[in-house]
Homo-oligomer: A and B are copies of this chain.
Amino acid sequence: MERPRCDVVVVGGGVIGLASAWRAAREGLAVVLVDPEPGRGASWAAAGMLAPVTEVHYGEEALLALNLASARSWPGFAAEVEEESGLPVSYRRTGTLLVAADEGDRAWAAELHRFQAGLGLEVEWLTGREARALEPALAPGVRAGLWAPGDHQVHNRELVGALLAAGRAREVVHLPLRVSSVETSGGAVSGVGLGDGTTIDCGAVVLAAGCRSGELAGVPAGVLPPVRPVKGQILRLRGPADRPLLSRTVRGVVQGQSVYLVPRADGSLVIGATVEEAGFDLTVTAGAVYGLLRDAQRVVPGVSELVLEESLAGLRPGSPDNGPLVGPSGLPGLVLATGHYRNGILLTPLTAEAVAATLAGREVPGELAGFGPDRFPVLAC
């Protein structure tokens, strides 16, 4: 019997894998995407913030440039996904307001503002009163705010559904299985082995398995990406859709801890997130739920009245320098698209474009040039 064959197998159906498969199919390639539960990992537990300015970190200026470039590509990307899928992704241009809970947080925010201004980012300093004028639900004690009018959001769960549909419209085949191994022939990718014992022949494999991308059999150790799970716990609450508590994303800094509150158009509110190195652990802990509610209520007291509908944990794919690993790898035919850490949703458009370009034999976009999979030294085992 002839073995099934396609051009590209995408390993992993988070937003990175889904978007990469869709973009590859638009290049005319025959694509199979393999994931037992597409979109139900970190993509599902995300909040959908597209916030390079308020999330800028010291020492990550190269990543900032990449994030800004991907943020600029979001309006066009969202429009294309919606058009090809016929489904909404709720890309909302509502900006992000960072607020400081106490005097120490105010000092931290002022330092961040100097850093942002030095980078030429569009961000405005607000007094507590000015911040409350923008968002009346803010606590009276809020000391100051940073208004980033260009830090937007997308509904990450809608995005999953729309990317699945957009892929199907381009004849991407979704297999609800695990990829158990990559097969090689003459030193290059020749296929994959699946969890049900079958195989698929292919000329290329896109490894987009998030925090599990570092453990695929058949890939040489030096080629496997150095990713690790970074657990994040989030809450999803619900208030009245006709009287939303917030009209834009609020990021609170509370005694040095960060908490975000992302309002959806339907009245729900996503609150996140913890950052924990706890291995492949997806449990929701009492301490995390408590800490998120404490800090969220500190900056937006009305949160206490909302209905707590869901508590969930996800595993971000962390990398050594917090930047993604995107592009061709040391194994011919294996393309990496992983390690996006906290920026997976934000970096989906540029990553998918880079994967499609690599598969089509073109160069990756310049913004991703510094984020090739070969930038980390191989550790001897």
Contacts and interface: CB of A to CB of B under 8 A. Distances in A.
Interface stretch (A110-118, A195-203, A289-297, A365-373): A289-297
B290 A304 contact: yes
A303 B289 CA distance: 12
A305 to B, nearest CB: 6
Contacts of A235: 286
Q: Assembly of this chain: how many copies?
A: 2
Interface stretch (A27-35, A39-47, A120-128, A306-314): A306-314
Contacts of A307: 283-286
A290 B297 CA distance: 9
A158 to B, nearest CB: 23
Contacts of A303: 286-287
A290 B304 CA distance: 8
A19 interface: no
Given A290-B293, A293-B290, A294-B290, A285 B311 contact: no
A289 B307 CA distance: 10
Contacts of A304: 285-287, 290
A237 interface: yes
A235 B293 CA distance: 15
Interface string A339-352: 00000000000000
A245 to B, nearest CB: 11
A293 to B, nearest CB: 4
A234 to B, nearest CB: 13
Contacts of A289: 289, 293, 308
A237 to B, nearest CB: 6
Interface in A303-334: 303-308, 311
A303 B311 CA distance: 17
Interface in A222-258: 235, 237
28 contacts: A237-B286, A283-B307, A284-B307, A285-B306, A285-B307, A285-B308, A286-B293, A286-B296, A286-B297, A286-B303, A286-B304, A286-B305, A286-B307, A287-B293, A287-B303, A287-B304, A287-B305, A289-B289, A289-B293, A289-B308, A290-B290, A290-B293, A290-B294, A290-B297, A290-B304, A293-B293, A294-B294, A311-B311
Interface of A: 235, 237, 283-287, 289-290, 293-294, 296-297, 303-308, 311
